[in-house]
Structure 1
Amino acid sequence: MKMTLHYLAILLAVALSPLYSAIGAQPPNIQPPNIQPPNIVLILADDAGYADFGFHGSREIRSPRLDTFANQAMLFEQAYVSAAVCGPSRAGLLTGRYQQRFGFEENNVPGYMSESCLPDDEMGLPLDQATVADYLKSRGYRTALIGKWHQGNADRFHPMNRGFDEFYGFRGGARSYFAFGEGNLNHRPEDRLERGLGEFAESGKYLTDAFADETVAFIERNQSRPFFVLLSFNAVHNPMQAEASDLKEFPNLSGKRRQLAAMTLSMDRACGRVLDKLNELNLDQNTIVVFTNDNGGPSDANASDNSPLSGTKANHLEGGIRVPFLMRWPGVTKPGSKYTHPISMLDLLPTFVAAAGGNLSELKPIDGVDLRPFVEGRDNARPHQTLYWKKESRAAIRDGDWKLLRFPDRPAELYNISLDIAESDNLADQHPDKVRAMYEQLFEWELTLVRPQWQLKREYEGAAMKRMDDYRK
């Protein structure tokens, strides 16, 4: 109301300016209000299935708070990650660049599954790469990473050395959802909960709840200034560990599927608590909130469902790289709307920096784009004509609605994604010229990349191909 009255006063002063001139008086000096740039809350799930949310049609797994949020937000039907596994996907999100450009190919850190001349502690997001937190911090934002990091275990890779003012979480890629015992040193240091830089701080709470508590507290502390918080859940990544009270909600399910449903419900409830805090503090109308996931669900490991997509985590079929994505941006996104063109997680950095008032031309070379003109309808083109994925000899390219997949053990496959979302009708034999052209286009992109700094052991490459074949539609 105050802002509205202020603008009315400005309009009235403009309308009366001829009168002031006629009587030889000066009009009042009314300055525009100081409008704070939007707060940004990015909520990232881990290993969730594409179909395992109510807003994507699930009837088994419940997500009531996110379903309500979806009605307030824009749902992006074709949101892609830049990698089919956790660590490199997050590296792309954090930098707005294809992670292959700086050697963080689709292989996680540290290297227990990798072959590399680098010691484990040398593996991490390279220090010469600026993060979204770096950019937002330079714009006056208070920044926090709460939850899973997975971008290197050494102190120099620590979130608080990568643009985040605050950190509460763990440095590794997965850990127990239940607190480690007092003085228990039978766990890797990167698996223990940490507050700040090096202060171990197990909470005694179920981990998803602990991360929600910390996010709510961060918002409360920083409500009077612009803030950016990345709530980086490890849910629903294995180990499959749910609380008994949530398991009781799904008596008709069993095994991993029941655990997954209970863990998803817990994460949904945690998201609701964060959204409630924004509402309580009257911050919801000046806060961008995004909910998404870091890669496709690993159906064999956590019983996730990526329907109607083929494939899973760790491969380049749609089920490995297309993820749920909701954005609520008051005044920009229309509640209950859908965006149909492909976008990439690489777009989050430039979108957030532009929203914060930053000049995108001053950013280091990035591959993402500012989504605001597209979601507002000012630009009806595709944000990306072409998207790429690469993991050693495996790779994929999407150009328009055509998608080519390259494999180490079989001929390339070609699909029209607009007509065949499940990638069940291989058109390579019918369009050999298209295959050749896209193969060359993919190779031209690869020539712009650097060599991977570490690679997956070959045995895991074989397992990834088998998983892909096992979970084709």
Structure 2
Amino acid sequence: MKSLKRIMVAYGLLGFLCFTYPTVHAQPNVLLIFSDDAGYADFGFQGSEEIKTPNLDQLATEGMRFEQAYVSAAVCGPSRAGLLTGRYQQRFGYEENNVPGYMSTSCLPDDMMGLPLDQVTVANYLKEQGYRTGLFGKWHLGNDDQFHPTKRGFDEFYGFRGGARSYFEYDDEHPNHRQEDYLERGFGNFEESEKYLTDALADETIAFMKRNQDQPFFAMLSFNAVHTPMEADPKDLKEFPELTGKRQQLAAMTLSMDRACGRVLKALKKLGLEDNTLVVFTNDNGGPSDANASNNAPLSGTKANHLEGGIRVPMLMRWPGVISAHTTYPFPVSTLDLLPTFVQLAGGNVDELKQLDGVDLKPYVSGENQERPHEVLYWKKENRGAIRMGDWKLLRYPDRPAELYDLSKDESEVYDLANQYPDKVRDMYKQLFDWECTLDRPKWQLKRKYEKDAMERMDAYRQAKTKD
């Protein structure tokens, strides 16, 4: 009788534990938080004493901060294309932002501008491993239905297809004239939110995690903060009385984003999934200081150029059991590395994936491999290009001589050493050119004023010939 009672108590305790604690599956979850147009120096964990980011600062103490994290492009769309495919986006012609109405008419029409359909995304790969996948926020990889996130590996989508939109609800008093800017749930279900957009995206991410807590999930929280328009939540402006103008707006928008990150991370912990989730925070490109008053110090340059301020970004990673708390990683990494890292973590075999340019970061961040993940990194946009070999970086321009910097001594790119090391300039220039020879042609390019002028001159010439 006593034995039977012990058995009943044991089963009761087991049932209680199973009910009380969520199921921990073998495959870790992945939470990728992606900000937009943030300045390199505009976070507390990056040294800012002006911008308040307590929740991301806490994440930095719980994981690893990367000192030299790079994106594969200095503007939004191509950078996202590289991250989602693990490949240099120039390999498949995605070299410029897909801006309808502003692209060259000699290339693809507007509705064909997007992530090429033959490219496989990280969401596709993770679905193959049994993950539930969701994207919340900015897409910017094609406005046409064929490029929709739910057709590119994401099971769920709540956000907008374009590159920027208002942080407030569109209505009769606050109209919108672009279809790609409306908020959309799933495919084709457009519905605006009364909430401040940063908060709405965090709410949707939390709801997704709750719905999928008993299976592995990949959640990409793709904020449009702190991209223009500069529209802060009024309550957050009061936190920065010492600031004015765009800088005050930026500080308030960053605080709102940080608070949203904190809510998502707290929800993850409340669900009991914190120890079984890889969390990554990073940004899509350097801050456009003129547009949103962002600060990229001590780096030179801004969004849209290949100086460090255009391509080096803040990046944090918390990976329980793999990464030690409060650590830094000194060597260059790339957002191209996120796909192979996530796929390998999920149980996939990265060696079987073809033509990846990223690498699995786990052996490097865990300390198992002491070498650099990359000896060489490349950037290209039309005639401009850059290459980093070790700590040397070459920048190529179409209208002036190339520049050479030793980033180990000059991360601000102040001292051009090209005249002192002509052989190194030649060798790096050649390697950059050799890499470019492996790339696809750009599928679209921004219209140039000279194109319009040339067409006008040609029309005038034809009219003159007709009169003759």
Indicate the SS of the match to 1:82. coil
Q: Are 1:87 and 1:109, in contact at CA under 8 Å, matched by a contact in 2?
A: no
**Structure 1 residues 214-237: Cα deviation after superposition (integer angstroms, max 9, x where no partner):** 001000100000000110000000
Unaligned runs of 5+ in 1: 1-32, 461-473
Q: Are 1:109 and 1:151, in contact at CA under 8 Å, matched by a contact in 2?
A: no
**Structure 1 residues 98-124: Cα deviation after superposition (integer angstroms, max 9, x where no partner):** 000000013334452555432111100
The answer as to 2:198 corresponding to 1:208 is yes
The answer as to 2:437 corresponding to 1:447 is yes
Matches of 1:221 and 1:194, distance apart in 2: 19
Q: Are 1:107 and 1:114, in contact at CA under 8 Å, matched by a contact in 2?
A: no
Q: Are 1:394 and 1:406, in contact at CA under 8 Å, matched by a contact in 2?
A: yes
Identity %: 72
Tell me which of 179, 184, 194 is aligned to 1:189: 179
Task: Give the counterpart letter for 1:98 in structure 2.
Answer: Y
Indicate the SS of the match to 2:386. strand
Matches of 1:139 and 1:286, distance apart in 2: 16
**Structure 1 residues 413-438: Cα deviation after superposition (integer angstroms, max 9, x where no partner):** 00001110000000000000000000
Task: Give the counterpart letter for 2:81 in structure 1.
Answer: A
The answer as to 2:285 corresponding to 1:261 is no
The answer as to 2:404 corresponding to 1:414 is yes
Q: Using a 3 Å threshold, how does the CA distance of structure 1 residues 411 and 186 change in structure 2: closer, same or farther? A: same
Residue 12 of structure 1 is matched in structure 2 by none
Instruction: Please show how residues 382-393 of structure 1 align to structure 2 within 5 Å.
Output: 382-393=372-383
Residue 468 of structure 1 is matched in structure 2 by none
Matches of 2:82 and 2:415, distance apart in 1: 30
Matches of 1:78 and 1:115, distance apart in 2: 38
Task: Give the counterpart letter for 2:362 in structure 1.
Answer: R
The answer as to 2:422 corresponding to 1:432 is yes
Residue 94 of structure 2 is matched in structure 1 by 104
Tell me which of 345, 350, 354 is aligned to 1:364: 354
Task: Give the counterpart letter for 2:288 in structure 1.
Answer: P
Task: Give the counterpart letter for 1:454 in structure 2.
Answer: W
Matches of 1:113 and 1:178, distance apart in 2: 28
Instruction: Please show how residues 52-451 of structure 1 align to structure 2 within 5 Å.
Output: 52-181=42-171, 186-451=176-441
Indicate the SS of the match to 1:175. coil
Matches of 1:106 and 1:414, distance apart in 2: 25
Instruction: Please show how residues 24-39 of structure 1 align to structure 2 within 5 Å.
Output: 35-39=25-29
Q: Are 2:25 and 2:214, in contact at CA under 8 Å, matched by a contact in 1?
A: no
Matches of 2:155 and 2:76, distance apart in 1: 23
Q: Using a 3 Å threshold, how does the CA distance of structure 1 residues 102 and 177 change in structure 2: closer, same or farther? A: same
Q: Using a 3 Å threshold, how does the CA distance of structure 1 residues 208 and 35 change in structure 2: closer, same or farther? A: closer
Instruction: Please show how residues 454-465 of structure 1 align to structure 2 within 5 Å.
Output: 454-458=444-448
**Structure 1 residues 259-306: Cα deviation after superposition (integer angstroms, max 9, x where no partner):** 000000000000000000011011000000000000000000000000
Indicate the SS of the match to 2:387. strand
Q: Alpha-carbon deviation of 1:201?
A: 1.2
Q: Using a 3 Å threshold, how does the CA distance of structure 1 residues 37 and 121 change in structure 2: closer, same or farther? A: same
Task: Give the counterpart letter for 1:72 in structure 2.
Answer: E
Indicate the SS of the match to 2:299. coil
Q: Using a 3 Å threshold, how does the CA distance of structure 1 residues 115 and 303 change in structure 2: closer, same or farther? A: farther
Task: Give the counterpart letter for 1:447 in structure 2.
Answer: C
Q: Alpha-carbon deviation of 1:190?
A: 0.3
Q: Alpha-carbon deviation of 1:194?
A: 0.2
Matches of 1:111 and 1:406, distance apart in 2: 29
Q: Are 1:96 and 1:346, in contact at CA under 8 Å, matched by a contact in 2?
A: yes
Q: Using a 3 Å threshold, how does the CA distance of structure 1 residues 186 and 232 change in structure 2: closer, same or farther? A: closer
Matches of 1:97 and 1:186, distance apart in 2: 34
Matches of 1:57 and 1:63, distance apart in 2: 11
Matches of 1:330 and 1:34, distance apart in 2: 14
Task: Give the counterpart letter for 1:175 in structure 2.
Answer: R
Matches of 2:154 and 2:101, distance apart in 1: 25
Matches of 1:185 and 1:196, distance apart in 2: 22
Q: Alpha-carbon deviation of 1:149?
A: 0.2
Matches of 1:319 and 1:144, distance apart in 2: 30
Task: Give the counterpart letter for 2:50 in structure 1.
Answer: E
**Structure 1 residues 60-101: Cα deviation after superposition (integer angstroms, max 9, x where no partner):** 111011011110010010000000000000000000000000
Matches of 1:119 and 1:246, distance apart in 2: 41
Matches of 2:34 and 2:24, distance apart in 1: 31
RMSD: 1.6
Q: Using a 3 Å threshold, how does the CA distance of structure 1 residues 125 and 264 change in structure 2: closer, same or farther? A: same
Matches of 1:259 and 1:380, distance apart in 2: 42
Matches of 2:305 and 2:119, distance apart in 1: 26
Q: Alpha-carbon deviation of 1:184?
A: 7.5
**Structure 1 residues 383-430: Cα deviation after superposition (integer angstroms, max 9, x where no partner):** 000000000100000000000000011100000011100000000000
Matches of 2:82 and 2:449, distance apart in 1: 25
Q: Using a 3 Å threshold, how does the CA distance of structure 1 residues 352 and 291 change in structure 2: closer, same or farther? A: same
Residue 22 of structure 1 is matched in structure 2 by none
Unaligned runs of 5+ in 2: 1-22, 451-468
Q: Are 1:109 and 1:152, in contact at CA under 8 Å, matched by a contact in 2?
A: no
**Structure 1 residues 314-364: Cα deviation after superposition (integer angstroms, max 9, x where no partner):** 000000000000000001111110000000000000000000000112213
Q: Alpha-carbon deviation of 1:161?
A: 0.1
Q: Using a 3 Å threshold, how does the CA distance of structure 1 residues 114 and 87 change in structure 2: closer, same or farther? A: farther
Give the TM-score taking structure 1 as reference length.
Answer: 0.89
Q: Using a 3 Å threshold, how does the CA distance of structure 1 residues 362 and 322 change in structure 2: closer, same or farther? A: same
Q: Are 1:291 and 1:327, in contact at CA under 8 Å, matched by a contact in 2?
A: yes
Q: Are 1:110 and 1:152, in contact at CA under 8 Å, matched by a contact in 2?
A: no
Residue 14 of structure 2 is matched in structure 1 by none
Task: Give the counterpart letter for 2:153 in structure 1.
Answer: G
Q: Using a 3 Å threshold, how does the CA distance of structure 1 residues 115 and 258 change in structure 2: closer, same or farther? A: farther
Matches of 2:394 and 2:32, distance apart in 1: 31
Indicate the SS of the match to 1:144. strand
Q: Alpha-carbon deviation of 1:36?
A: 1.8
